[in-house]
Amino acid sequence: MVTSPPTSSIPSEATDRLTDSSRTSHWDRWRRSLVTSAFRRTLRDAGGRLCEPGGLPVYGVHRVLVCRPNHRLGNALLLSPLIQEVEALYPGAEIDIVGSDAAVSLFADRFHVRRVFALPRRVARHVLFSAKILRNVRSGRYDLAIDACNGSQSGQLILALTRAKYKLGFPDEATSPASRWHSLAWPKHLAHRSVFLLRTAYAGRTDDRYPNLGIGLSAREKEEAAKVLRTLCRKSSFTPVLGIFTNATGAKRYSEAWWIQFLHVFQEQCPDVQVVDLVAAHGCSHLGERFVPFYTRNLRRMAAMIAGMDGFISADCGVMHLASASGAPTLGLFSSTDPAKYAPYGGMNDALDTRGMDATGAALASARWFNRARMARRSTQHHAPSKTGPKAGRSAT
């Protein structure tokens, strides 16, 4: 069983989001208050029956439910290390997932996954459809159900409604003040917390390295994308390709002028690089069609294209996590959020905190990272990729 030194509290993703954005919507607060009032007893009873550290058996878990009902692409991808960990600890089990349309695209064809239930984005507008999904989940009679996110009210409610033999989630100090979970030191990265939760509950031996993000791209997907990439760039095998994604939400987004200056300096440092602009879902390039564009709304197709590139750079966003999950060396640019919680990790993946840095400084640091990454990638491109990564990302300098 995993053991760790004590800390003060279990980190909450809801708190993380509030800390990063410094605010939450009035509607969000009202909704959470309403659900808490309506299901207070259900949530309290479920919180008191959560599995304690070391309480999960090594054998006898065959049907697993993973709950992550969130529609952000990044949050769906941050679930992938937990899926891999369930597969590693219970290789004979099958997995159901309560997630989103993104989770369907990413995980539905995975060997161990039986079904992905996609809750609608606005449950209140699709009450009957949502109720049908919850009935299916409740009738599943799972051996193990996991709420993969601390602070997700929807995940807590779904976990409470399941009839699983073992329920695994993040206990609340108010409902479970004596829980041993409160004395453990939790990892800071969001992709690691649910893995830590499962490993600590597992009664057997576990690894000490966290799985990388991954969606299990097939050889065929990569081969088809490689053909398109060669045609798109008219490239030889010696032409390095860098993917760029310029879109992000809110304060995480860099301006068009910032990106143009960034790429101007970057290309001065790496003049032989072919830049590919991955166009956002709305179909408009933020770079004014200055670079070779590629557009798709198919997440696996985009990941397969990125997998064939020598490197990928974007702000902190869902596509950054998709690039990391593709296996391509990925550099995330962080202007407002915390790299320790969200950074790409493993292999040559890296994070650059650009606070206090202009576009020129960020480009120079990124060019140094890219030169290291492409050399490492070219030297290992004929070897099988590693399935595990370090516990946290490094810092680009």
Domain boundaries, the chain: 13-211, 219-395
Residue 89, token pair as written in the block: 């600890």
Q: Which residue has the tokens 């990388």?
A: 212
Q: What is the structure's pLDDT at 219? A: 96
Each residue's pLDDT expressed in tens, for the chain with a length of 397 residues: 433 344 446 777 655 654 554 445 665 555 555 555 555 555 555 555 899 999 999 999 999 999 999 999 999 999 999 999 999 999 999 999 999 999 999 999 999 999 999 987 766 566 677 788 888 888 889 999 999 998 787 888 889 889 999 999 998 887 778 889 999 999 999 999 999 999 999 999 999 899 999 999 999 999 999 999 999 988 666 789 999 999 999 999 999 999 999 999 999 999 999 999 999 999 989 898 789 999 999 999 999 999 999 999 999 999 999 999 999 999 999 999 999 999 999 999 999 999 999 999 999 999 999 999 988 877 776 555 544 444 444 445 4
Query: What is the rounded CA–CA span in Å between residue 347 and residue 337?
Result: 22
Reduce the DSSP state of residue 125 to 3 states and report it: helix
Q: Say which CATH topology domain 13-211 has.
A: Rossmann fold (3.40.50)
Strand partners, 277: 244, 293
Amino acid at 83: I
219-395 matches 13-211 in CATH topology: yes
Q: What is the structure's pLDDT at 14? A: 58
Q: What is the structure's pLDDT at 155? A: 85
Q: Say which CATH topology domain 219-395 has.
A: Rossmann fold (3.40.50)
Helix (H) or strand (E) holding 388: strand 388-389
Query: What is the rounded CA–CA span in Å between residue 289 and residue 318?
Result: 22
- Nearby residues of 71 by Cβ (< 8 Å), 6 or more positions away: 100, 101, 102, 121
Distances (CA, A) of 148 to 49, 259, 300: 16, 35, 23
**What b-and-e string marks burial along 109-130, b requiring 16 or more CB atoms within 10 Å of the CB?**
ebebbebbbbbbeebeeeeeeb
Residue 375: how many other CB atoms lie within 10 Å: 13
Q: What is the structure's pLDDT at 381? A: 63
Q: What is the structure's pLDDT at 33? A: 59
